[in-house]
Amino acid sequence: MTALFSLVEEYAALGIHRSGTGTQAATADWLATHLRERGGHVRLEPVEFDRYVADWSVTIDGDEVESLPLFCEATGQASTSTPATSPAFAPPGAGPMGVSGALDTDIEPGSLVVAATRHLTGLLTVSNRGTTLGSGVHVLQVAGELGGALANGAVIDAHIDARTEPAACPNVIATFGDIDAATELTILTTPISGWFQCAGERGTGIAVALDIVERLAEAGPVLFLGATGHELGAFGAAALHEQYINRVHTLLHIGANVGCDWAADNTRS
């Protein structure tokens, strides 16, 4: 267990794991090293996508607060001291869902909304997104615990300058044994990217997956995928799916929050 936890710590220490960033590239190299140490033959396969790039800020009553855009919802510039607000915003899921229905009022494209996300801890949370542009409304998400301030007329200043650009980030693929000769191919996948440091989410999944792949390889050939793009519609996993779907016998996906056991009153400890 100590060895698994060390892997989680290493993953978290790399930084923010968003797809297409330098941290995500370093994470791919880090995972490749651990796979080679376990006997895997590793390659990095770049996956192309449209990367959302933005500069943004939100201040509430004069203090800058942690915030995150609703990725791929809009591009262009917007600055305002009178943004529309939402004190309890449930971010739309993957794909160009737009924000209509998630906000109390209809918002014109090009406008800017500051929205407090719903989460049982009151922290900033986001939903996974697709890479297709959405409604054209800029949404800057802040922690749920700030919903009261948004509802009670706090002084807000918000700015964003966003664009999309062609990019690529690597899937980490490792083979154990002769997969070309395998009649019953086992594929083990786990995501490697995410919105934040993702220690308890991506990190735990990777640690457990590394342990499992060694055990599976003792029984026969295994294809391992450390999938990029998880927070952006899982495009990395989709790319591998197209290559191997007709050959898979067993697919094992190690997802998020492995071993998670917590209550709302102890999440800040």
pTM beyond 0.85: the answer is yes
**Cα–Cα nearest to 195, from 10, 55, 17:** 17
Q: Is the confidence at residue 96, as pLDDT, over 70?
A: no
d(CA 133, CA 54): 14
Model confidence over 2-38: pLDDT tens digits? 888 899 999 999 999 999 999 999 999 999 999 999 9
> What is the mean predicted confidence (pLDDT) over 45-69?
96
Domains of the chain by range and CATH?
2-49+167-264 (3.40.630.10), 51-166 (3.50.30)
pLDDT of residue 109: 87
Model confidence over 126-150: pLDDT tens digits? 888 888 888 899 999 999 999 999 9
> What is the mean predicted confidence (pLDDT) over 110-137?
88
d(CA 137, CA 80): 13
| DSSP string computed for 22-58 | HHHHHHHHHHHHHHHHTT-EEEEEEEEEEEEEEEEEE
d(CA 236, CA 150): 37
Q: Considering the chain, what is the average pLDDT of its residues?
A: 88
d(CA 235, CA 240): 9
Model confidence over 187-220: pLDDT tens digits? 999 999 999 998 888 999 999 999 999 999 998 8
**Cα–Cα nearest to 158, from 84, 105, 100:** 84
